[in-house]
Amino acid sequence: MPLRKFHNGGQADIYEYYVAGKDGCLTEYFNNKKIPTSAQDTLDRLFRLLGQQGQITNNQQFKHLQDGIWEFKPKNYRVLCFFLDGNPKKCVATTHYFRKQSQKTPPKEIKKAKSIRNTINTEG
């Protein structure tokens, strides 16, 4: 399964969907500085918060979109994710990242997250 642990937490671990060379992979973007440091810092803080508490209650930072797809909201970037086995206290799998260009999350990005979730669930 193309999941790689991205962040250890006390209550929840965060995994990323990782395929080398694919667009939207968090590790690749962090390493290549394609996400500004301020957004990386915000995302890291959100990961720590979710990892330590098992939840983020602020919709301005972490929001349910639809059908079990959620989004982290660091600055003008979005990181889509879902809870593995539907259990928010267990672990989160991030699907991909993109730069926000409109008020609403584009349907194609939600569709991409659902497709990756299906791939992970099928292979896992």
Q: What is the pLDDT of residues 20-75, one digit of tens each?
A: 555 555 666 566 566 778 888 888 888 888 888 878 888 899 999 999 999 998 88
Other Cβ atoms less than 10 A from the Cβ of 78: the count is 22
What CATH number labels 3-123?
Answer: 3.30.2310.20
Amino acid code (one letter) for 88: P
What is the rounded CA–CA span in Å between residue 35 and residue 90? Answer: 27
Structural domain spans, the chain: 3-123
Q: Bin 14: left if φ > 0, else alpha if -120 < ψ < 50, else beta.
A: beta
Amino acid code (one letter) for 117: R
pLDDT tens-digit profile of 81-124? 888 876 666 677 888 888 889 889 999 999 999 998 888 888 76
Tokens 């539907």, residue? 86
Phi, psi (deg, nearest 5) at residue 33? 60, 35
